[in-house]
Amino acid sequence: MQGLVNLVNDLALAMAWLLPMACYIAAWIAFLTGAWGLWQQRQPQNPFVGRPWVPWIGIVLSGVFATFDRILTKSTTSAGLDTQVSLGASVTGYTDAATGSVISGTGPEDAILSIVSDFALFFEMFGAWAAFMAVVAWNASATGKTNRSKLSCLIQFVFGVILLNPVKEATWILSHWTTSG
């Protein structure tokens, strides 16, 4: 199992390396399309007739993407998870499972918590990417590029934030696990 944990953690580190790049690229794209949209509103061939808010969404979302780590940190604080999200070099400070660690404990709850803690970095990065893609999907929904509802984007963002602290969530779920003694 240690090989699988190492593989998944390496994938999570790759995701952690790509997410800041994706955030900054999305911030530039949103800013440039927002600025272009504001310029186009003064032109006779305005593509945003009847939708004057579309360029402003791009300008605001450029700030959202540029400060995405702080937005995720504030979201986790609001959810009561108290997780500090940092996009950059500090993400690579993860240490893998102890060599020779065995799944043991007093029951299946301990085994599940051990597995979740071994794969925690992947869950965290998957949650951050899910939240990022929820914001991208919300932008597409708000600008009329997709028929996806804004509520589904909000739900996706909430579940992405929940995944940012998988051990705490797994502990909470397992606290409702009925044990027979």
Domain containing 119 equals 2-88+104-175
The number of domains in the chain is: 1
Q: What is the pLDDT of residues 135-156, one digit of tens each?
A: 999 999 988 888 889 999 999 9
The whole-angstrom separation of Cα 171 and Cα 179 is: 14
133 in a domain, yes or no?
yes
19 in a domain, yes or no?
yes
pLDDT at 105: 61
Distances, alpha carbon 85 to alpha carbons 67, 72, 73, in Å: 11, 6, 5
pLDDT at 4: 86
| pTM attached to this predicted model | 0.81
Q: What is the CA radius of gyration of the chain?
A: 20
| Of 100, 121, 104, 122, the residue nearest 113 (C-alpha) | 104
Reading the block at residue 155, the tokens are: 């739900």
Q: What is the pLDDT of residues 103-116, one digit of tens each?
A: 556 777 778 888 88
Please list the rounded mean pLDDT of every run of 10 residues in the chain (181 residues). 84 89 94 90 82 89 92 85 66 42 65 84 91 94 87 94 86 74 49
96 in a domain, yes or no?
no
